Structure 1
Amino acid sequence: MTCGHCVSSVKEEIGGLPGVTGVDVDLAGGLVTVRSEDPIDAARIAAAVEEAGYDVVTS
């Protein structure tokens, strides 16, 4: 991700997942924080990020 549009795209895709109540994206660090009513499978979050056109890297 390199710009505000990238952040918006990722937030929109993840925010559309059922149960998600908030999404924060740290552009500089590439970190995404997801808040939800109940636990959400990490694979669903990764799929949403990939749907937005970005790769998921875990450490």
Structure 2
Amino acid sequence: QAIFRDEARDSGLADEEWCYRGEYIFVLTLDEKRERVERVLEFVDIKGTERLRELMGREPGGM
């Protein structure tokens, strides 16, 4: 969950609109001994990430 500090929020949105919670999936591929991670595949919530970018763009000073 992303938490925006009060000083990072503009007054154009209500507090509840500053809420962001995304969904992520990680797939780890291990070596034959299952001791080390060889590969990481990450899936992100694209619609949620777009919303997060919008919120970050509203911050004073922006991204």
Taking structure 1 as the reference length, the TM-score comes to 0.30
The alignment's TM-score, normalised by the length of structure 2, stands at: 0.29
Structure with the greater alpha carbon radius of gyration: 2
Higher helix share: 1
